[in-house]
Amino acid sequence: MGRAPCCDKANVKKGPWSPEEDSKLKDYIEKNGTGGNWISLPQKAGLRRCGKSCRLRWLNYLRPNIKHGEFSDEEDRIICTLYANIGSRWSIIAAQLPGRTDNDIKNYWNTKLKKKLMNLLPQSHHNTILPYQQISSPLPSHSTSFYNQPNTSFITNIEPISLPSPISNPFYHNQESLLNGFSTNTSMQYNSIGESVVMFGSEGSCCTSSDGSLGKQEEIMGFQNFMQSSHNHNKLIHGSDGRGEYLVDVNHHWENEKVNLCFGKEITTGLDYDLEYIKQLISCNNGNYLSIDENKMKEEKSMYYYY
């Protein structure tokens, strides 16, 4: 049985929006809100448009604080980093760029940024800008050097975008001063990697028990302590494990309870990483939480801390 259409296709207008239609939609939503029902909105607003079309027009063009125009180098960097880590989850990437829409970012990536990166990379590196899931070769072990990890290592080293260089890469050295607020009363190991990254856990293995559970708990505790520090809000956290990498913006209003909730749920599920990660991003306070999959926690893992 096919699905019922969301609107009467024969009686809705398609194609570009006229200024009059824009005005009607904007006026209606400003006065009445969306009412949580896009399907009925066009009729109420006096528009011969599909509800989905109205929603898209509002979200991508009419709503307040939409940013149009050139993307900054910083925005480029964030897009590249997130794309390398989570792939084409444009809505999640958009959530990290205030004023930008997923459609905008998607178009920008497909038409400009991807080419920009390609032009900067030698042919042999072109596959490295693919998100992790699309890379056919296995993810290198964390026992290898930082810049041997795919994607993120070179992406985070761009300012503006530049090539990865194992020789010139300055990231891999310890720097205790980055660990402000990070409690060392757990036995969790950590490394700091240059001025941009702090790695939670050890490179080879951060587990302190054979099954990894204790190390995991300690890692979480350490992470929580770290995040509770006033020094460490509004930062990007990059986590990685044997199969994937992920990165989240740490909300300024990070709360301990939410961290517990988030971690606790994740640790007991063992579900597919990507799915759960996305769910966490969506469900946890504007998508600003880190998720960890238990099965993957048992593998080599680390979290990197960007600022």
Partner DNA sequence: AAAGGTGTCAACCGCTCACTT
Partner DNA sequence: GAAGTGAGCGGTTGACACCTT
Residue numbers at the binding site for DNA (CB under 7 A):
1, 3-4, 6, 9, 13-17, 34, 36-39, 49-53, 55-57, 60-61, 68, 88-92, 102-104, 106-108, 110-112, 115, 275, 279, 282
CA neighbor of 15 nearest in space, from 43, 44, 50:
50
The answer to whether residues 238 and 305 touch, using CB atoms and an 8 Å cutoff, is yes
Q: How far is the CB of 119 from DNA (least distance, A)?
A: 11
C-alpha to C-alpha distances, 303 to 139, 190, 214, 217, nearest whole angstrom: 15, 9, 17, 14
Residue 14 or residue 211: which is nearer to DNA going by CB?
14
Helices (H), ranges, 230-288: 256-269, 273-283
91 vs 205, beta carbon nearer DNA: 91
Least Å distance, CB 128 to DNA, is: 18
d(CA 80, CA 158): 9
Q: CA torsion sign, 129 to 252 to 281 to 242?
A: positive
CB of 18 to DNA, least distance (A): 8
User: Least distance in Å: CB of 113 to DNA?
Assistant: 9
36 or 138: whose CB is closer to DNA?
36
Taking the complex as a whole, the smallest distance from the CB of residue 115 to DNA amounts, in Å, to 7
**110 vs 168, which CB is nearer to DNA?**
110
Strand-pairing partners, residue 200, are 190, 303
CA distance 137 to 132: 10
Nearer to DNA, 40 or 168 (CB): 40
Inter-residue contact 197 to 304 (CB < 8 Å): yes
Least distance (Å) between residue 265 CB and DNA: 12
| Cβ nearer to DNA, comparing 35 with 181 | 35
CA distance 303 to 292: 10
**Could you tell me the two tokens for 48?**
């011969």
